[in-house]
Chains A and B, each alone.
Chain A
């Protein structure tokens, strides 16, 4: 990861876990950077299995939602799986308003999400 990386990446049981370093994911430039970094992770695998944790994230903009949709599409195009977890209730409401809770696989905790990977 580049030195100005905005994410933390861990490999656990062949699943790539991603966490955000920022509390607020609002800045367009940061969002673009995050999108690129995660895209690289997705592209690095034949059938990517990705878990994005929102632990510590307090604010999320519509641009960030757009980036998540792009990542979701990318994962699907490679026949992979994308799961999300640890979403703050206020941010979850944003997913509900935009109906993206129907598009994404959202779990309460990282452990719960990990169990669902096939």
Chain B
């Protein structure tokens, strides 16, 4: 049932305008970035909430409907892959971490699992004729299609992906 770790709530107030010195209060700029880390266990409601959280921030910053569709799908696929592959054999209560930075131009997301990591080269290309009817491998394909930057860390347990607002 836990969705947001207290730690992630503590992350965001670093941008809180309340923390700004009084002298700056008269020209308090809107925060140019919403950021934080969500702790997501392998539970549908928690996954939905994490996606909804990021999508709401993107919507607030004027990302169009097509962007929200793309980012929701990419984030869903990344989280599912993290659980399905990264957390294979781990308890569903072991969370993956979703780090987000949402600005007016970009949505920068990292999904980090606590598994041993993997080599993305090992994922077969699902668009090849011989693989077209395979049941899996499409999540990463969709992520790559929609996001402008898609990269794994060296260990292979953290996927960073960036979406650029159209026209920026």
Listed in ascending order, the chain A residues whose CB lies under 8 Å from chain B are 26-29, 58-59, 61-63, 65-66, 69-70, 72-73, 90, 94, 97-100, 102-103
- Closest 3 A/B residue pairs (Cβ): A62-B138, A66-B135, A62-B139
B120-144 to A contact mask, C-beta < 8 Å, 1/0? 0000001100001111101101100
Known: A97-B142, A98-B138. A59 touches B127 (CB 8 A): no
B54-75 to A contact mask, C-beta < 8 Å, 1/0? 0000000000001001001100
Contact between chains at A28 and B142 (CB < 8 Å): no
Known: A69-B133, A69-B135. A99 touches B77 (CB 8 A): no
B84 to chain A, nearest CB (A): 9
Contact between chains at A61 and B141 (CB < 8 Å): no
Partner of B73, one of A27, A69, A73, A94: A94
Listed in ascending order, the chain B residues whose CB lies under 8 Å from chain A are 44, 48, 66, 69, 72-73, 76-77, 80, 126-127, 132-136, 138-139, 141-142, 145
A24 to chain B, nearest CB (A): 8
Q: Which residues of A contact B142 (CB under 8 A)?
A: 62, 94, 97-98
Q: Which residue of B lies closest to A97 (CB)?
A: B145
Known: A66-B138, A98-B126. A90 touches B69 (CB 8 A): yes
Q: How far is the CA of A26 from the CA of B72 in the complex (A)?
A: 10
How many residue-residue contacts, CB under 8 A, span A and B?
52
Q: How far is the CA of A18 from the CA of B76 in the complex (A)?
A: 25
Contact between chains at A70 and B135 (CB < 8 Å): yes
Q: List 11 A-B contacts (CB under 8 A).
A: A27-B44, A29-B44, A58-B69, A62-B138, A62-B141, A65-B138, A66-B135, A90-B66, A97-B141, A97-B145, A103-B132
Q: Which residues of A contact B48 (CB under 8 A)?
A: 26
Contact between chains at B126 and A61 (CB < 8 Å): no
Partner of B77, one of A27, A58, A61, A70: A61
Contact between chains at B72 and A59 (CB < 8 Å): yes
Name the residue among B72, B138, B139 with the largest chain A CB count within 10 angstroms. Answer: B138
Q: How far is the CA of A100 from the CA of B137 in the complex (A)?
A: 13
Q: Which residues of B contact A27 (CB under 8 A)?
A: 44
Contact between chains at A63 and B80 (CB < 8 Å): yes
Q: Which residues of A contact B69 (CB under 8 A)?
A: 58-59, 90
Name the residue among A26, A90, A102, A103 with the largest chain B CB count within 10 angstroms. Answer: A26
